[in-house]
Structure formats: structure tokens, C-alpha cells
Amino acid sequence: MVKFVIAENESNQRLDRFLRKYMARAPLGMIYKIIRKDVKLNGKRASADTVIREGDELTLYISEEKLEELSRPVKKKFSGKQFKVAYEDENLLIVEKPRGLLTHGDSTEKKNTLANQVCGYLMNKGEYEPGKEKSFTPSSVNRLDRNTTGLVIFGKNAETMRTLSEYIRKRRFIRKYYLTIVCGKPDGRMMFDDSIVKDESRNISRIAEKNGEGKKSVTYLTTLIESKDFSIVEAEILTGRTHQIRLHFSNAGFPLVGDSKYGNRRINDMMKKRFGVTSQLLHAYKLVFSEITGKLGYLDGLEVKAGIPKDFADAAAGLGFDPEDLEGLGK
């Protein structure tokens, strides 16, 4: 028999979800069998959907040896650190993700990810001790594609992660802005609200052609700097669809420089040959927190900016943009 008290980082989640994370090596069927027969919460039987709270006493009627066998492995320290810290306090960490690094693991890469690097960073600082956590792991509340650079937010505790995730879901509390270089010269400020349909099998999206098809998507474009044939623009997204910025801008006649899926092949070939650009130059450069209340109320009004990546700056200079103008956009 194993008995323990639910800590703050383990609270406010369903019992089955807690046990699935805590006993990560146990098959799903075993988890639900344990809940039916071998679990008591505060001395009473509990169902899978019971929400556990801080201070609850959980009793597992299995041996310590069996629990150790089923429990998630303790993460080892991850020494690599490719990201830069843009903002940090006791509750959250905002980092600058470099190009080519996955936010979370996928079938092509599971170890060297931004999430693992952040865990290693917090472990080295003594702010995250996996051996003391039964289910909690610091994680991001937003994510960027592998070849998109810029700001990613991580919660250092479960309460902060839940609160920030809710803010991200509601869209208006944390406003996200991107920089990119597009072909052509858009008119000042533009808004796109075309619905988007994703083709999962090809990992490509298209603009919906029929009413009721696809998902509503809203993107704002603001032109910041112009050169002869190109523009550096700011994009603000109010929704988070796959390839939303790239598709909306391309459909309007302003494809992103370097975008192999929705871009201009002739321009892309030139950018690859002259500057080594092999993917879209899309940079999540600014976050603005507004109407934040409660424990995180001190974040209200906070603006966080990322520096401009070197490959972005080099490509912009090569396309005729003044480097001093570009410097004024970053932090």
C-alpha cells in the first residue's frame, strides 16, 4: 500500500489523468482497473472523473515495488541550451526558439526539443525536480512550427500553466505578433477572415470554397517597412489555424519569402542561392499581456519582444532593407 497527499502541482485534474501521468508505464486498461479496485481518495472510493484537490489523501493498494515499476522515469538533465531567455519570473519563462528546433517531440525527434531543453534549464537552476513531482512537467502553453522562430511561453507550475492556457484559448488576453518578409507591397493595414481547410494527409491548408466549410480564421497584416519589391510586415493572429499567416498572405498575393508550400518558386530559388534561405522567414517577435487578473495580475500590460534572428536580418539587408530600421523592431 502506498499513501500520499496531493500537492499543488498535482491538483485540479481528473484522477485518471493524474494516474496516467504518474504511472506512465502502465497500460490504459490497467489504470482503470486500479481505479476500480485499488484506489481510495480521502478514505473513499473514487471514479475516474473525480477531480483531485490539493491536500487530498490518495491511497494506492499496490506495492511500492509495483508502483516504482509503473511510474514515469525520472528525466535526466539535458545540458544543451539553444534558446535565449526573453523574460522570466517565479511563475513563467518566455524563451526565444531558434529555427529548426521542435517545440515538442514528434516521430522525427523526441530528445532534442525546446521543451526538454527548458526542463533541463530549470533542473540546473533547481526550480524543477522531476523526482519530487508525480505528474507535473513544465510545458509550453503555445507552440511554434520547427522553422518558425521566436517567443514561446512556459509555465513553471501547474496553476500558471492552466491559467495561461486559458488565456491563450480565449485569444484576447495574450496578443501574439509575428514579423515576416513578403513579396509585394500590401496596403497599410489589412484584415483576412477566410475560413481554412486543412488536408491532414498532405499537411497543407487551403482557403474554404463553400459556406460552412473549414474553420474561421482571422489575421491582421500591418506593413512596417518597404523596399523596392518586398515588405516587412507584422501579422497578428486572432485564431490559430495550421499555416494561417502563410496561407492568408499568399492568397492575397503577398507570399512569404522562402515559403516552399505557398510561396513564389522563383523568389524562393533566388533566396536559397543568394542567402541560403530554405524556409519561410516567420518570427514570433512580440507578446502583449492585457486584462490579466488574479495571481498573475502583475503581468497586466507586460510587453515582451524577441531579438531579430541573424538569418532574418541578413536576408532583409540583402533585399534592400536598412539594418537600422530592422533593429528598431526587435528588443
* Residues identified as active-site: 145
DSSP state of 104: S
From CA 3, how far away is CA 118, in angstroms rounded?
31
**Cell triple for 44:** 473513499
From CA 278, how far away is CA 14, in angstroms rounded?
44
The length of the chain is 331
The C-alpha cell 512537467 sits at 137
The C-alpha cell 476500480 sits at 36
Residue 136's SS3 state is coil
What is the radius of gyration, based on Cα positions, of the chain? 23
List the helix and strand counts (H, then E) for the chain: 9, 17
CA pseudo-torsion sign 79, 81, 87, 92: negative
**Cell triple for 292:** 490579466
Using CA atoms, how far residue 10 sits from 132, 165, 203, in Å, is 11, 16, 35
